[in-house]
Structure 1
Amino acid sequence: MINLLWGDPPPPTRGPKPAMTVEGITTAAITIADRDGLDAVSMQRVAAELSFTKMALYRYVPGKAELVSLMTDRAMGVPPHHPPQPWRQALMDWALDLYAAFERHPWLLLSTVGRRALGPNELTWMDFGVRALMETGLNGGQQLDALMTIAGQVRTLAHQTLTLTGGTVGMSEENLTSALAEILASQPDRFPGLATAMKSVEGSQNQGLTFGLERFLDGLELLIKRG
């Protein structure tokens, strides 16, 4: 697995001249996951997508677990580069870029949990985030804890608002606000707290995400100033 994720895999030693590549197999699997969800990905399905036999795939990728690791690292890509900026804006951009990655491939919310092999692209994301905090005075443990907390906030909101093809159907903040407004318009006296709050709500995509991130960054800023 490590060789597949971190290096150029050796060519198959048996059979005819290779007609497939690990890159091509991974791309086909990502196409299936984007279209039909992660559960739809199987060695048989990918083989059919490429017009090969399932056994032919095993000469390149040992099994589905390894394939999903390859898919995950490829789909994550590397984080976008931003010009040098203060740590707080750098972390906000990092978080929003991560949310955008989940938007492009919602099945990443399922493939990036649990014990698994980490690839170079995922570690590049972590490296970018940690580097934003290197000059803050926080120690390494605090930097990593801050990054994991931010990533958790992003994951939680993404899981609630994004639609996982073939799985959980999310509801965007705009749709949730619209649904609440419709209900409260007919029953304002039954939910007085919500009705009052909704009067001042301005629909904005990812408002909950940015609000939560800003409040966490407020707390982190206090910790940094306290030294």
Structure 2
Amino acid sequence: MSDLLWGKPPLPSRGPKPAVTLTGIAEAGIRIADAEGLDAVSMQRIADVLPVTKMALYRYVPGKTELVAVMSDLAMGAPPDRPDLSWREALYTWAIDLYDGFLQHPWLLQSTIGRRLLGPNELTWMERGIAALAGTGLTGGEQLDSILVITSHVRNLGQQSANLPGHSTGLTEDDMQRSLAEILTTRADRFPHLAIAMRTTAGSENQGLEFGLERILDGLELLISGRKVSTSRH
């Protein structure tokens, strides 16, 4: 699988020019996953939308597991280049960019977990996050754990916000907000603290994402500042 992810696809060596490429196959899979969810992706579905038979696809990719790995890395793409930022600004924008990517391709929340081989784009995201913490005084393990905590927060909020293809309650965000407001208005005596909190809530749609991210960064800033003070005393 590593050859597929790192640019050495097993292309046919004889016969006419291939009608498809590994990238084209992965792009077809991405379109299906975006529209219908990851479970809808299969070798047969890909063959239905490309000028190639299902059996011919196996000359490019061994199966769905490998295909999803290539799809995921391609869909993630490389992180946007945002130079000349402080470590905190760099990690904040990195997290928001990652969140936007999950919303654009919600199935990535499913395909990028668990034990699997990592591709160049996903590793570049990790590299960019770690690079933001270079020179802060944090150990390598602390840098990796910091990225893990931030990514977990982004994933959690992404999971709650993403409109997953193939799964719907039939309610829009406005429907949910109106229903909750009605319940808390008519039953405020039962949920008094929640009702007060909801009435005083104001902010952006991503308030939970931004609030949690800022608190994580606050904690890192305290750790980094304390590390620098400790170092200067020795």
The answer to whether the 8 A contact 1:163-1:171 is kept is no
What are the within-5 Å matches in structure 2 for residues 103-182 of structure 1?
103-167=103-167, 177-182=177-182
Shift of 1:139: 0.9
Which segments of 5 or more consecutive residues in structure 2 lack a partner in the other structure? 228-234
Shift of 1:173: 7.5
Shift of 1:166: 1.3
Shift of 1:217: 0.8
Q: CA separation of 1:93/1:172 partners in 2, compared to 1, >3 Å: closer, same or farther?
A: farther
Structure-2 separation of matches of 1:170 and 1:123: 37
Shift of 1:198: 1.5
- 2:186 is matched with 186
Paired residues in the alignment total 227
Structure-2 separation of matches of 1:111 and 1:198: 34
- Tell me whether 140-149 or 158-167 shows the greater mean CA deviation: 158-167
State the AA in 2 paired with 1:31. Answer: R
Q: CA separation of 1:172/1:223 partners in 2, compared to 1, >3 Å: closer, same or farther?
A: farther
The answer to whether the 8 A contact 1:5-1:120 is kept is yes
Structure-2 separation of matches of 1:111 and 1:73: 10
Structure-2 separation of matches of 1:2 and 1:203: 44
Q: CA separation of 1:159/1:215 partners in 2, compared to 1, >3 Å: closer, same or farther?
A: same
Q: TM-score, normalised by structure 1?
A: 0.94
Structure-1 separation of matches of 2:150 and 2:175: 24
Structure-2 separation of matches of 1:165 and 1:99: 17
- 2:230 is matched with none
Structure-1 separation of matches of 2:22 and 2:109: 23
State the AA in 2 paired with 1:114. Answer: G
Q: CA separation of 1:132/1:200 partners in 2, compared to 1, >3 Å: closer, same or farther?
A: same
Q: CA separation of 1:177/1:224 partners in 2, compared to 1, >3 Å: closer, same or farther?
A: farther
What's the secondary structure of 1:222's corresponding residue? helix
- 1:45 is matched with 45
| RMSD of aligned alpha carbons | 1.9
Shift of 1:7: 1.8
Shift of 1:40: 0.2
- 2:2 is matched with 2
State the AA in 1 paired with 2:126. Answer: M
The answer to whether the 8 A contact 2:130-2:144 is kept is yes
Structure-1 separation of matches of 2:24 and 2:149: 35
Structure-1 separation of matches of 2:44 and 2:197: 52
What's the secondary structure of 1:71's corresponding residue? helix
Shift of 1:176: 5.1
Q: CA separation of 1:197/1:151 partners in 2, compared to 1, >3 Å: closer, same or farther?
A: same
The answer to whether the 8 A contact 1:72-1:112 is kept is yes
State the AA in 2 paired with 1:86. Answer: S
